[in-house]
Amino acid sequence: MSASTASRHRELGLTDSEYDLICQKLEREPNGLELAVFSLMWSEHCAYKHSKKLLSRLPTEGPHLLMGPGENAGAVDVGDGLAIAFKVESHNHPSAVEPFQGAATGVGGILRDVFAVGARPIAVLDSLRFGELSSPRSRYLLDGAVAGIGHYGNSIGVPTVGGEVYFEGPYEQNCLVNAMCLGIARKERLIRSAAAGVGNLLVLMGARTGRDGIGGASVLASAELGEDDASKRPSVQIGDPFEEKKLLECCLELLERDTLRSLQDLGAAGLSSSSSEMASKGEVGLDIDVSKVPLREEGMEAFEIMVSESQERMLCVIEPQKLAELEEVCERWEVRATPIGEVTGSRRLRVLEGDEVVGDMPVEALVDDCPLYDLEPRAPESQIYPAPERMLFSEDPAEQLLALLASPNLSSRRPLFEQYDPLVGSRTVRRPQEADAAVLQLSHDGGQGAIAVSIDGNGRRVACDPYWGTVEAVLECAANLACVGAEPLGLTNCLNFGNPEKPHVAWQLERSVAGMADALEALGVPVVGGNVSLYNESGGGPIYPTPVVGMVGKLEDPAKAAPAGFQREGDTIGFCGEFMPHLPGSELAKLQGEELPTELPGRDLAKVRAAHDAVREAVGAGELSSAHDVAEGGLLVTIAESCLAGDIGATVDPWPGEDPALWLFGECPGGGFLVSGTREAIDRLAERTPLAVFGTVGGSSLRARDPADLDVALADLREANGSLHAAFG
């Protein structure tokens, strides 16, 4: 191997041993185009080479599952012949380089994943992480990412119905932008991506191909970011939501006409990944003539065309006799459609430039033979993340409550959600912050009832204890569904971690996946698909390990979905579930500048599931006026949030414990619920799950008489909780 050859493959992220294996598979050295394609297909982003073995631990079967991992999106059966397809994806590194386009194209990509399986996108959610809000860089990234999400979703006409955002120091150099999309389809209209039928045509639809996004999967998504991030801006794609809207409608009409044999999104690695993955799934070969690909820029070389990640493009396989029908539909929608190749029986991906073969690679080598690595996990001997700066010194419960409500992680997200349209499409029953989960009706498509969706994660608690912190994330997501009366049907995930080649990160990843697997098995919920984003690390160290989970559930009557806010003067307040509060690692502990603990308390998952079932049944029966899970900030913050959401006060007395700070502000996400309703309804719920009656709805303040004597006016609670709004001017 020459020095220049060695330098070339290393610059593309391939190791020497991987290069030797490529030569072995090809029985020769690769040319420049082939090396570029292999570098993308064998990148972490496309091949999951450090995580694939771990992911096999996750449960992937369930009674409602229609389409599982391996397709563009997973899908579950919601009855009446309808399916909900959904997936979450990351666009972290591009957003750290160019936040507006990085976030916007992240939304565009997840929308294409959903309509690639034949489902019409009906909702978007986002999960965001930035450095501390006091940081100018974090403010810049936040402003850009939120604007990008709003721009793309609002323009294409898909509502953003929920999400979350956290601000923590370890995300300063590596922000996280995870986007989730849901779509709806008739079950029989779901389509897979496997190419089929030797002699069938390969047609590229949508936007022209340019140099934007070249190398994104290998340059940005499979390596740590450094000080030269700005030089990577050309690797960030440029999105056009109006082009995507036409492409979406065109693809859905073609599927309705039964014109297409298979359909695939062009995302990371562009034509390289879409074509090779379609060929692998169909056990066929593909010939692609890059000279036929419509270009946006002159002088593009063959390898650039193959690896470009230009947006708003889809690849489909059709029978030759249906080409005229496809072209007629595409012309009506003003969507470009160009035959660029055909299906072969060779099991090879051949790239042609006119009559010249410029690349010839075995499909199996590209997709199936990427080396998979065993992690070398080792638990750190001490906490690897520095303690946060102390911001709160008071021991007074009222002052602590106001400080928590004003903190960036707990303040109202209204100034962010106001930039999104949550109602377009007329399905939204519960808007963001009205309930613990978004609720969307199915009646538009002839279905009964509604679906609910939530997205959750808490990197700081996973950093404390990767196993139990991840269990908490799954339980909290399920608890959010229970609060609106929804039964969970399936889960998608995005695993955001640092460099897996480092033992402590490998340990975090391994323990987190184990926690997710055990929690899902206890709940009886399968994983339908997801995404892994690794190498979220810079000179300042790794991000908090951040598994983000999105869960979809079904409820029978959307009118009974409980709001988070108190509703009626005189209602009884109850606290139920399996709640074992813990102060270390909590929001209060962060404000007090405490170091992270190295473990969290364990949980009895069977008892937690029983509590979820009881609350879900009570909400589904229309017995509760409100339901809100107890999560960040603890019980007193949850009560304050319910007061603010309902614009009504409450009196609580006594607290169910002897240690005021522990019971006021201790955390145990996913295990406890704050509920309100008539005394009879609360007593019926108490027959099904452990429950303490400790308050009454009413008045214009939050009052607690024992053991913490406090009385805080709603106006003061609201002013504190609006701090994020003030930060946005």
The residues that are catalytic are 45, 91
- Report residue 691: phi and psi, to 5°: -150, 140
Q: Is 215 helix (H, G, I), strand (E, B) or coil?
A: coil
Residue 442 near residue 451, CB atoms below 8 Å: yes
Beta strands, E only, 431-483: 438-441, 450-456
Rounded to an integer, what distance in angstroms lies between the CA atom of residue 270 and that of residue 264? Answer: 11
**Closest among 485, 478, 559 to 525, alpha carbons compared:** 478
**Closest among 523, 601, 386 to 58, alpha carbons compared:** 523
- Supply 177's token pair: 């932008």
* Amino acid identity at 288: I
The single-letter DSSP state of residue 700 is S
- Supply 592's token pair: 């007090």
Contacts with 541 (C-beta within 8 Å, 6 or more apart), sequence order? 170, 384, 385, 498
**Closest among 694, 699, 693, 692 to 650, alpha carbons compared:** 699
Q: Is the peptide bond before 59 cis (omega within 30 degrees of 0)?
A: no
Residue 210 near residue 310, CB atoms below 8 Å: yes
Residue 463 near residue 469, CB atoms below 8 Å: yes
**Closest among 480, 491, 403, 397 to 437, alpha carbons compared:** 480
Report the alpha-carbon angle 609-615-619, nearest 5. Answer: 145
Rounded to an integer, what distance in angstroms lies between the CA atom of residue 32 and that of residue 38? Answer: 10
- Supply 21's token pair: 């294996």
Contacts with 7 (C-beta within 8 Å, 6 or more apart), sequence order? none
Return the half-sphere exposure (C-beta side, CA atoms, 13 A cut-off) of residue 379: 10
Rounded to an integer, what distance in angstroms lies between the CA atom of residue 641 and that of residue 646? Answer: 8
Q: Is 102 helix (H, G, I), strand (E, B) or coil?
A: helix
Beta strands, E only, 24-146: 65-67, 74-79, 82-90, 120-130
**Closest among 165, 69, 65, 77 to 113, alpha carbons compared:** 69
Report the alpha-carbon angle 111-113-114, nearest 5. Answer: 70
Burial class of 575 by CB neighbour count within 10 A (0 to 12, 13 to 18, 19+): buried
Rounded to an integer, what distance in angstroms lies between the CA atom of residue 15 and that of residue 406? Answer: 48
Burial class of 680 by CB neighbour count within 10 A (0 to 12, 13 to 18, 19+): exposed
- Supply 224's token pair: 């740590």
Residue 474 near residue 508, CB atoms below 8 Å: no
Q: Could you tell me the CA-to-CA distances from 602 to 89, 613, 658 in Å, in that order? A: 29, 20, 21
Cβ atoms within 10 A of the Cβ of 238, count? Answer: 17
